[in-house]
Amino acid sequence: MSFPILSLLLAVPVLGAIACLFVDDATARRVALITTLVDLALGVVLWVGYDPAGAQWQFVENAPVFGRFAWALGIDGIAMLLIVLTVFLMPICILASWESITKRVPEYMACFLVMETLLLGVFMAQDIFLFYLFFEAGLIPMYLIIGIWGGARRIYASYKFFLYTLLGSILMLIAMLWMVNEAGTTYVPELMAHDFPVHAQTWLFLAFFASFAVKMPMWPVHTWLPDAHVEAPTAGSVILAGVMLKLAGYGFIRYSLPMFPEASSQFFWLVMGLSMIAVVYTSLVALVQTDMKKLIAYSSVAHMAFVTIGLFTFNRQGLEGAMMVMLGHGLVSGALFLCVGVVYDRLHTREIARYGGLVENMPKYAFFFLLFTMASVGLPGTSNFVGEFLSLLGAYHANSWVAFVATTGVILGATYALYLYARVVYGPLDKPDVAAMLDLSPREVAMLLPIGIIVIWMGVYPESFIAPMRADVGRVIARIERAAPPSDARPTAGHPAPAGHAANNVAAHGEAH
Amino acid sequence: MSASLLLALPELILSIGAILLMLAAAWGGDGSSRGITLAAVALLVVAGAVALIAPGGHGDGFGGLYRADAFSDFAKLLIYAATAVALLIAPNYFERNGEMRAEYPVLILFSAVGMGMMVSALDLLTLYVGLELQSLAAYVLASFTRRDTRAAEAGLKYFVLGALASGILLYGISLLYGFSGTTSYGGVAQAMGGEFSAGLLFGIVFVLAGLAFKISAVPFHMWTPDVYEGAPTPVTAFFASAPKVAAMGLLVRVAVEAMGPAYDAWRQIIIFTALASIVLGAVAAIGQTSMKRLLAYSSINNVGFALIGLAAGTEAGVAATMTYMAVYIVMTLGAFLCILQMRDADGNLREGIADLSGLARTRPMLAGALMMFMFSLAGIPPLFGFWPKFLVFDAATRAGLFPLAVAGAVGSVVGAYYYLKIVKTMYFDEPAPAFAPSESPLEGGLIAVTAALISPFGYLAIPVLGGISLAAAHALF
């Protein structure tokens, strides 16, 4: 057996968390930062070591230590990218909490590190029950993070978050029990290849959907998200938007689609309908928010609707687009929450109307905020453009009405994002306390700069991110295309010129330049 | 006869030991209570070891009145372990008020003998004798602090309602006897396999009602919160653990071995009781302000989940129920151990949930442990309390009882609310006056051990625990 790098990735944060509990505040911060940086380094090793042309499952570990289920880990390209996203955002979260968290620092850092392990575990688990353990266990640290370090209505938000998501996932557990009983295995790759009876798929899909729709979150079960975001500390919001929302997208692509292809097709309009409503409705809700964090939270719901639209198009563009939106949104919404955190740390309000004219006294901040706002809008050259474009392309292929409604979301997205930026950064700098705010500190630049670089990298050369998942998306497509819902696109055959002639044409065209 | 005696060796050791200790208590007076407690713990350890080694092997004894098998061994180990913990935590608690008396360990030992007989009973009469031996000791224990009116009330309530339940049970037994002509489990099962008369059905209903009282399942749960609240805390910890295992073991054995052929008749009763316990245990707990009352409802709620395994009526289901009880006693004892630490600066015991405010800042380790017990009782992974819930749901889905599994799962979300409330009080609220620092390394150690058992490391014990539970369940089928 090769070196168990995945187990190591999971063990490092747990050890760091235990160490944090026994030291003072300043040391706890340093321990947490070092731990997350070690995990980031391991994540880079993972990316470099991952062979896109190799086996579907790599770095596989399997130890049947639990009797009824196994410590089975392994990743494909899809999981690898989400793992790298997680380990990349974690040190940034720790940095974001460096000065703003002053009470109960060791516990805070421990919660975050445990959270990291659980999130990574979800992406790595190859045993369906191990997946469930990690998936559910994330509730406990997040409950504490929101409840202890949150804002005014933290207690209400923490309860809502916990009970909502628990109710969603407990039905999934019952479905898993049935599936394991039926298929006789808990090993995810085998379950992905198992053909469940079509009538059972309906119920199984709905049970999984109950869980993933809440986690995603999809309209109308999204209401926990704005509350949780507004009350969570900045870093909590970053991890919530950046990684936790991706658990559901990952769940759809790993479980719902390959395990229940027929049911996924059957519920095409349910998913698309909810997503279309989400795109338009939550964008409009975002437009009228007066609280910056709430605005970004609603925009997350709208962006995640692009993910569900892409996933259920049943074609390659859609799936790859959904993955790119997940990665891009993880970075961009995380960065936007960080931007809000920067001004919140200075003025302790998230009221949009309290700000204005920041470009005068905080030019560096204005630059980064503009970059991430543009990325959120989906400006070509940034990460979200690639994802949204591919999603919409896939949606158009699946159903042109879906594409039509979803595209209005892009326009609405531009409206609320630019409107937010204009109100905060432009306008007169007429408030004395706002004028007294200092520009970004080196620590804050160190948080935002890496995200900015990667956002542009993803926009300019997305191949680096699409290549590792290409083969795996292909495998999902191969599994589900037999059930693809009928498309309303009616492509007609063109009249291609003879092959030789076309080649000449291109060559001539090339010469002409 | 000697073979029979060898089979019942754990009970013999405990009975003779308890009688000797009673003499020692009579001569030594209350000053000797600590020594007697330790001797009682030693007896339990020996009896447990004997049950584990089983020198007499497995088989029936006393003309078919008593059986030693893997099931009784497992149940006895759990019972003795929980009883030993209830003994160990007692001296510190009672000595503070000068109420530690030497009969406490003796009564507990007699109760343990009764519980051993309950899980080994193979005849309705042995069942009744074991149950009464356990109960009579428990009535006295409930009002052990004589000067405390709440304890006296608890004891009286427990006795009156317990006597009523015994009457119901006995009436059921008489019906079963009347319509089957025998009191042995095997004979009753045979009669049920034949022509199923209304008399037998009534017998089943009454027997199950009587036993539901003992496991405090809805609708026979009314005594639980009052008794748990009024009884001294170590006694409450005892009530919540060992007798629950014994009564559940007894119920499982009666249901499978004596009423097995009438599965369709009792399944619906068990399903109703299970769901009613889960829902009522969860909903009624929400408004509670006392930790002990809250844990009483929690035990009602958990018994409901354990019954789901029995409702499945399969070997896997029974194994799940036994695993459930094993994990449950660890969680509940751990929670009671934490409650024992709740003493204010003057050494007075506090029991209110509000007293736990901000415990995470005044006593972080204690708060951490109690948080683990709460999340574990709620069945949230990665804590080990998730595993038995997983098993009972698994057994129910395998037996095709989907609505039961789904209803139970939804019930567990309602239940999660009040466990969250405890965590919220400890972690989110402003600190209340700090508790007095713990003076007992023993209690601290026990909390640490129980917390370690229900931590994620507990999952490593699944192969062992699962193997024992399955062997125990297999012995019944």
Secondary structure (3-state) at B352: strand
pLDDT at B109 (0 to 100): 94
Q: What is the pLDDT of residues A445-478, one digit of tens each?
A: 988 999 999 999 999 999 989 988 888 888 888 8
**Run of H or E including A75:** strand A71-75
pLDDT at A198 (0 to 100): 87
Is the CB of A163 less than 8 angstroms away from the CB of B397?
A: no
Quick count: other Cβ atoms within 10 Å of Cβ B53?
10
Is the CB of B417 less than 8 angstroms away from the CB of A68?
A: no
* Interface confidence (ipTM) of the complex: 0.89
Q: Say if residue A156 is exposed, middle or buried (CB neighbours under 10 Å; 0-12, 13-18, 19+).
A: middle
Q: Say if residue A48 is exposed, middle or buried (CB neighbours under 10 Å; 0-12, 13-18, 19+).
A: exposed
Dihedral sign computed on CA atoms, order B418, B422, B425, B427? negative
Q: Which of A133, A147, A166 sits opposite B428 (nearest CB)?
A: A147
- Helix orientation angle between A154-183 and B386-398, rounded to the nearest 10 degrees: 40
Beta bridge partners of B184: B123
Q: What is the pLDDT of residues B118-155, one digit of tens each?
A: 999 999 999 999 999 999 999 999 988 888 888 899 99
pLDDT category, B207, cuts 50, 70, 90? very high
B398 — contact with chain A (CB < 8 Å)? yes
Long-range contacts of B156-159 (CB under 8 A, 24+ apart): B157/B223, B157/B226, B157/B227, B157/B230, B158/B223, B158/B227, B158/B231
**Is residue B255 a contact partner of residue B188, using CB atoms and an 8 Å limit?**
no
Beta bridge partners of B290: B352
Give the span between the Cα atoms of A21 and A23, in whole angstroms: 6
Distances (CA, A) of A65 to A72, A130, B459, B463: 10, 12, 8, 8
Contacts of A199 in chain B (CB under 8 A): none
Contacts of B402 in chain A (CB under 8 A): 174, 178
Contacts of B412 in chain A (CB under 8 A): 170
A152 — contact with chain B (CB < 8 Å)? no
Is the CB of B380 less than 8 angstroms away from the CB of A136?
A: yes
A110 — contact with chain B (CB < 8 Å)? no
The answer to whether residue B320 scores a pLDDT higher than 80 is yes
User: B232: closest CA among B150, B330, B295?
Assistant: B150
A173 — contact with chain B (CB < 8 Å)? yes
Q: For B129, how many CA atoms within 13 A lie in the half-sphere containing its CB?
A: 13
Dihedral sign computed on CA atoms, order A404, A407, A413, A414? negative
**Is residue A218 a contact partner of residue A275, using CB atoms and an 8 Å limit?**
yes
Q: What is the pLDDT of residues B237-264, one digit of tens each?
A: 999 999 999 999 999 999 999 888 888 8
What DSSP letter does each residue of A358-418 carry, written as one string?
HHHH-HHHHHHHHHHHHHHHT-TTSHHHHHHHHHHHHHHHH-HHHHHHHHHHHHHHHHHHH
Is the CB of B427 less than 8 angstroms away from the CB of A163?
A: no
A133 — contact with chain B (CB < 8 Å)? yes
**Ramachandran quadrant class, A69 (left: phi over 0; alpha: psi -120 to 50; beta: rest):** beta
Is the CB of A155 less than 8 angstroms away from the CB of B424?
A: yes
Is the CB of B410 less than 8 angstroms away from the CB of A166?
A: no
**Run of H or E including B353:** none
Contacts of B420 in chain A (CB under 8 A): 143, 159, 162-163
Give the span between the Cα atoms of A258 and A205, in whole angstroms: 11
Interface test with A, best of B305, B383, B384, B394 (most A CBs within 10 A): B394
Mean pLDDT of chain B: 90
Q: What is the mean pLDDT of residues B330-339?
A: 93
Beta bridge partners of B60: B67
Q: Which of A65, A148, A171 sits opposite B428 (nearest CB)?
A: A148
Give the span between the Cα atoms of B20 and A118, in whole angstroms: 55
Contacts (Cβ under 8 Å, ≥6 apart) of A486: none
A68 — contact with chain B (CB < 8 Å)? yes
Give the span between the Cα atoms of B229 and B194, in whole angstroms: 46
A148 — contact with chain B (CB < 8 Å)? yes
Q: What is the pLDDT of residues A407-454, one digit of tens each?
A: 998 899 899 999 999 888 888 888 888 888 888 888 889 889 999 999
B406 — contact with chain A (CB < 8 Å)? yes
Q: What is the mean pLDDT of residues B51-75?
A: 88
B361 — contact with chain A (CB < 8 Å)? yes
pTM of the model: 0.90
Say what percent of chain B tops pLDDT 70: 100
DSSP H helices, B181-262, are 185-193, 198-214, 223-230, 233-240, 242-253
Contacts of A173 in chain B (CB under 8 A): 390, 393, 409
**Is residue A193 a contact partner of residue A267, using CB atoms and an 8 Å limit?**
no
A155 — contact with chain B (CB < 8 Å)? yes
Secondary structure (3-state) at A58: strand
User: What letter represents residue A143's amino acid?
Assistant: Y
Closest chain B residue by Cα to residue A178: B397
Q: What is the mean pLDDT of residues B61-90?
A: 92
Q: What is the pLDDT of residues B414-443, one digit of tens each?
A: 888 889 989 988 888 888 787 887 777 888
Q: Which of B386, B393, B466 sits opposite A174 (nearest CB)?
A: B393
By DSSP bridging, strand A58-63 and strand A71-75 are antiparallel
Structure-token match 């009880």, residue found: B325
User: What letter represents residue B407's amino acid?
Assistant: A
B380 — contact with chain A (CB < 8 Å)? yes
Alpha carbon of A406: minimum distance to chain B alpha carbons (Å)? 35
Contacts of A132 in chain B (CB under 8 A): 381
pLDDT at B117 (0 to 100): 93
Between chain A and chain B, how many beta carbons pairs sit less than 8 Å apart?
88
Give the span between the Cα atoms of A300 and A279, in whole angstroms: 10
User: What letter represents residue B475's amino acid?
Assistant: A
Q: Which residues of chain A have pLDDT under 50?
A: 502-513
Is the CB of A154 less than 8 angstroms away from the CB of B406?
A: no
Is the CB of A177 less than 8 angstroms away from the CB of B427?
A: no
Contacts of A28 in chain B (CB under 8 A): none
Tell me, rounded to whole angstroms, the distance of Cα B251 from its chain centroid.
12
Give the span between the Cα atoms of A289 and A291, in whole angstroms: 6
- Helix orientation angle between B103-120 and B70-88, rounded to the nearest 10 degrees: 160
